[in-house]
Amino acid sequence: MNTAIFLYSWSAAAATHLDLFGSLGLLLGFTAGVMPRRAWILAASAACAACFGAHYLTLGALTGTAMCAISVLQSLVSLRCIGTPGRSGWVPPVFTASTVAAACLTVATWNGWPSACAALGTLLATGARLQAAPQMMRQLFLGASLCWAGHNLLVGSVFGLTCDVLTILGLGIALMRAVPVAPVEPVAPDCARA
């Protein structure tokens, strides 16, 4: 067996277990949680949602795919328009319409608990994208990641579940990093008894 045939056989066998979109989504999901700026969080979140949308499509998780499409739209609108003077007037109608679309798509692709988890995760992420402050955004994304973990567990997405665990870890680290440390007062030695 020559090297080319061996590599082809190996790649054909491995292809059933490897998912480029799931791998990229996993990487981008963790990265989004630890980004220092709101704009970077949203850009990484949009790219992550696009990758996971393709991944869920291969799994047949249509509600997850639809919610990822909504997430990409909302992340890009939030990135471009929230906090920018003169452009925010049309953001509320876009987010309202996308939330209504998410509800309709959830009903149209309903698959029980996985659909419920994806819809609730999308609702929490929608709230996160509307935040101007990164810490509040991270808190809502944490709740969304917990819901998506339920979805990924139920649809059998190893990449998605791994991403959720890493995202929760990354968000937790970022949230704890921002907690102010209380000053420690030194304790005076008890010399009065001597």
- Contact of 78 with 130, CB cutoff 8 Å: yes
Model pLDDT, residue 97: 94
**Residue range 124-165, pLDDT digits in tens:** 999 988 887 888 988 998 999 999 999 999 999 988 999 899
Find the angle CA(134)-CA(36)-CA(56) to the nearest 5 degrees: 80
Q: Is the pLDDT of residue 14 over 70?
A: no
Give the whole-angstrom CA distance, residue 92 versus residue 111.
29
Model pLDDT, residue 43: 92
User: Residues with Cβ < 8 Å from 109, sequence gap 6 or more?
Assistant: 62, 63, 65, 66, 115
- Contact of 44 with 35, CB cutoff 8 Å: yes
Name the pTM for this structure: 0.77
Q: Is the pLDDT of residue 6 over 90?
A: no
- The residue that leads in pLDDT, 136 or 16, is 136
**Residue range 53-94, pLDDT digits in tens:** 999 998 899 999 999 999 999 989 888 877 665 556 778 888
In order of 3, 111, 139, 147, 169, the CA distances from 125 in angstroms are 47, 20, 10, 10, 17
What token pair was written down for 54? 């393709």
For a pLDDT cut of 90, what percent of the chain falls above it? 43
- The residue that leads in pLDDT, 100 or 128, is 100
Q: How confident is residue 193, by pLDDT bands cut at 50, 70 and 90? A: low
**Residue range 18-41, pLDDT digits in tens:** 588 988 998 898 787 678 888 888
Best-predicted range by mean pLDDT (12-21, 145-154, 184-193): 145-154
Q: How confident is residue 15, by pLDDT bands cut at 50, 70 and 90? A: low
- Contact of 65 with 56, CB cutoff 8 Å: yes
Give the whole-angstrom CA distance, residue 172 versus residue 2.
49
Q: How confident is residue 111, by pLDDT bands cut at 50, 70 and 90? A: very high
